[in-house]
Structure 1
């Protein structure tokens, strides 16, 4: 599977692939039922050909699976139809399709020598579906009509021929519609990931813009003043001392402004940060539920809670694929739970969690665990042993 896509696409792809395989395996059996062709009875008269037909069904399912795997690893199609919907396109093909055609040729030769002709029709129905599923649905219609004509030529009734042709065409159409729907889900999943990445990038750009506005002018003045000081010093002009002190004062003022900016970024208003984190996660199509409010958190822990919300929300978008996020705020703790990190057991701590522990220090206790597909991050204020 393409690792650039998310869990929703993976689940829907698996559903689509297995549905198509079931259709491919059941189609020849369904055609055989309408032709009153009993495979069990054929084993007594033509055991080798009957076994070959079963092998063809298995190889056909394998060929369809290989086709789906190859299609799923391709990039999202940029081709659109007149309704601005993604086109499925031509599905890839390989030697597995040719291998599936070999039993049909063998059975056809046996039918020419006097074997049961209905066995050839059952074999051809599978081959037609496998071939036409890789191209446009019009070819599927032509292939199903061809099988219907052959049924009539081999002595079948027009009613049976039309029923079998309709069954084959319905199978081909179902495959193409399933692939089209899967292409839409994949495109939406990629768009959702892009939206989440843009939300994170927008926050970074906001901070970079604020930092540039605060420091750009001061750094330009420092550069000009420093050149002036150097020139005055070369001429031993006493004004170099005065201008040097001005440079130092501008640098101290700029440093104070940077600290104020960073402090404001790290210690944002908790209510504002709660709304921002919820909005950020919702922009990634996650359902966000909030228990409690910013007022429930003591004032001395509001800065820590706001920082945890910002960091945890960003990390969820970077490293998880959540559909549901629950945020709980209380007097003693703040907890975030999401379903975007499947798995069980202990969570290996990377640099992100280690950095959060270091930033929190002794004033708060951080714990994480994963259970039943839910990832929980819990920060406790005033942990046991804290004198406060």
Structure 2
């Protein structure tokens, strides 16, 4: 069972539940008013039957509260009404309704013994009907209310008494069902708010996973390249192996520091740093890197996006190609990476890397990729102030 803890729902549920309790508790008084009598007068005339009725009032109010408790814990119907709004559904039955029926049986017995006046019997039976009918669709309650009026008149009850009694019963049913309908909408809004919060957490986890992938992917690729270079130099007895080994260790320490700062939420991508790191990464793979433009050429509002795209693009080049030359172009309109060593022509199959880049760029820039003549082009065009270029 799902626990509902939102303050909005708790407040509205308390309001609805106690409103139902109050309506059911006051309902018998309305019926007695239709008979032009009062509780003190009935206590003097028939104390036993009136005492049982008062006990039933308490049980009926408790039954209504119990019904609301069961309803708040149950799932709403999946079906919607014609306005695409949630339906109240049927309130579960329980023993509290049976407890409310016991006093009615006692009052009927007293009526047969001529020890219960008609107003007490009418109030008791209509209270039991109200406690039961609020658990069903309002159409059923309306039909029973009309039937109650007709049956009361058939048994000799005057119209000035029968009509108000049926009207009171109809008013109770409709009031409770409307309150439940409003509560159902609040429940759905509360559920939607909780789902939105869970979605936001999931999206943030996904964003963090992409950021962690970007940070570790590039640095681990550099470490792998450096490690292979160290192994080759060591096999030849080249003294430069120690220098490259120290560089690999420094990269590992830097990556660890970046991961820690990323976890703390303090890290922001710096375009100049990422440009230098990506160029260093590609040069470590023996690629000739040409940089056209500078980090300052990119508008300030797009530098964070450009830095992430540069990092992801450089890592993808190293993973999926064997480049000998890479050109990085930075301009106010966007960034472009062109590399050779990409065999094949035609459409580019998009994996998790390009898909993640498109998701990150949504609303900020347009990503285009193309391949042909052994070259691969990754082109990011920034969004103009009035929309996408």
**Same-fold status (TM-score > 0.5):** yes
Aligned partner of 2:29 in structure 1 is 29
Pairing 1:136-215 to 2, within 5 Å after superposition = 136-215=137-216
CA–CA distance in 2 between the matches of 1:23 and 1:255? 65
TM-score (norm 2): 0.60
Aligned partner of 1:18 in structure 2 is 18
CA contact (8 A) 2:71 2:91 kept: yes
Aligned partner of 1:238 in structure 2 is 237
Give secondary structure in 2 for the equivalent of 1:265.
coil
Deviation at 1:261, TM superposition (A): 5.6
CA contact (8 A) 2:76 2:89 kept: no
Pairing 1:1-388 to 2, within 5 Å after superposition = 3-75=3-75, 77-114=77-114, 115-223=116-224, 225-226=226-227, 236-238=235-237, 241=242, 244-245=245-246, 247-248=248-249, 250-252=251-253, 254-255=255-256, 258=259, 265=266
Aligned partner of 1:290 in structure 2 is none
TM-score (norm 1): 0.60
Deviation at 1:138, TM superposition (A): 1.8
Q: 1:47 to 1:84 in 2, by over 3 A?
A: same
Deviation at 1:208, TM superposition (A): 3.6
Aligned partner of 1:341 in structure 2 is none
What do residues 277-320 of structure 1 show as CA deviations (whole Å, max 9, x unaligned)? xxxxxxxxxxxxxxxxxxxxxxxxxxxxxxxxxxxxxxxxxxxx
Root mean square deviation, CA, Å: 3.1
Number of positions where the alignment pairs a residue of Structure 1 with one of Structure 2: 266
CA contact (8 A) 1:34 1:163 kept: yes
- The gaps in structure 2 that reach 5 residues or longer are 270-389
CA contact (8 A) 2:34 2:160 kept: no
CA contact (8 A) 1:37 1:119 kept: no
CA contact (8 A) 2:261 2:267 kept: no
Deviation at 1:123, TM superposition (A): 0.7
CA–CA distance in 1 between the matches of 2:261 and 2:40? 83
Higher gyration radius (CA): 2
Give secondary structure in 2 for the equivalent of 1:211.
helix
Q: 1:104 to 1:231 in 2, by over 3 A?
A: farther
CA–CA distance in 2 between the matches of 1:189 and 1:158? 46
Deviation at 1:36, TM superposition (A): 2.1
CA contact (8 A) 2:258 2:267 kept: no
- The gaps in structure 1 that reach 5 residues or longer are 269-388
What do residues 253-290 of structure 1 show as CA deviations (whole Å, max 9, x unaligned)? 5456557767882689xxxxxxxxxxxxxxxxxxxxxx
CA–CA distance in 1 between the matches of 2:129 and 2:28? 10
Deviation at 1:161, TM superposition (A): 1.7
CA–CA distance in 2 between the matches of 1:55 and 1:65? 16
